[in-house]
């Protein structure tokens, strides 16, 4: 099918457009951009230069993609990028910055949903099927891994990593690394394991027990993180889920500044509220 471009939209001739694209009233598509097949750009949305979108993304009104990074070190003459995958839903007033250093990229995977007024900072990497609820914000150089969920107004500090299927409760914040499969609340405070999320993602009862064993070693056995990792390394029988937890822990322990931020804090077992297996 041919593209449908509203006559009031401003689409630079140097923009690369796929097929079956819809661009609404007063939308702006700058030069040096690329939109994949089936993208929908709603009224008033802005796609800044050096931004690439894959197939079938929906960008709602007044979202701004590929804006200059909010970083004093950034030089406006530098060529940096924003690279977005396929089938993402990007809602109203979402802002995603491109990278800071020449040749760098902010990267978004596939199948994500970014709800109204969320912000993704420069040089961050977002995995697949990530959900960011209204008003969430992540700073620069953050990683959010596959199927993580940030509830309303949650924040992640720069240089922090949030593991697969981790979930941040509303109004929470992380200034340290968040392991896979955990819940966080308040500021850097654990709330147990995301058992419901693991079930929905298809992790078996056996795999969930293994993940809980890894979690207990790191947070409930009174071990230092380094000693907990040594104990984890003994479990050669663990399946993919617990291995991901262990690999994440190893990466955190090996991280150097500015990424050497440690783990979110030990949970009080009396305050943990995860659903029991």
Query: Is 122 a known active-site residue?
Result: yes
- Do residues 12 and 27 make contact, with C-beta atoms less than 8 angstroms apart? no
Candidates 122, 153, 157, 177; catalytic one: 122
Query: Is 123 a known active-site residue?
Result: yes
Query: Is 186 a known active-site residue?
Result: no
Candidates 140, 163, 191, 197; catalytic one: 140
Candidates 38, 119, 123, 177; catalytic one: 123
Which residue numbers are catalytic?
122-123, 140
């Amino acid at each position: 099918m041919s593209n449908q471009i509203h006559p009031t939209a401003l689409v630079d001739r140097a923009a690369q457009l796929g097929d079956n694209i819809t661009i609404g009233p007063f939308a702006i598509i700058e030069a040096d951009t690329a939109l994949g097949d089936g993208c929908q750009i709603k009224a008033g949305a802005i796609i800044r230069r050096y931004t690439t979108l894959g197939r079938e993304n929906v960008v709602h009104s007044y979202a701004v993609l590929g804006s200059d990074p909010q970083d004093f070190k950034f030089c406006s003459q530098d060529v940096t990028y924003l690279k977005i995958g396929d089938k993402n839903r990007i809602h109203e007033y979402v802002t995603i910055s491109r990278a800071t250093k020449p040749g760098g990229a902010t990267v978004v995977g596939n199948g994500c949903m970014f709800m109204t007024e969320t912000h993704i900072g420069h040089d961050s990497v977002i995995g697949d099927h990530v959900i960011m609820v209204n008003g969430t914000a992540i700073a620069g150089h953050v990683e959010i891994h596959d199927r993580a969920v940030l509830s309303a107004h949650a924040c992640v500090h720069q240089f922090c990593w949030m593991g697969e299927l981790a979930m941040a409760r509303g109004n929470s914040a992380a200034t340290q690394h968040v392991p896979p499969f955990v819940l966080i609340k308040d500021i850097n405070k654990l709330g147990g394991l995301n058992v419901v999320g693991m079930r929905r993602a298809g992790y078996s009862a056996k795999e969930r027990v293994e993940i809980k064993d890894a979690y207990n070693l790191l947070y409930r056995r009174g071990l230092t993180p380094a000693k907990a990792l040594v104990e984890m390394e003994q479990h050669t029988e663990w399946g993919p889920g617990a291995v991901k937890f262990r690999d994440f822990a190893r990466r955190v322990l090996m991280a150097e500044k500015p990424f050497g931020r440690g783990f979110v804090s030990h949970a009080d077992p009396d305050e943990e509220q995860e659903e029991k297996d």
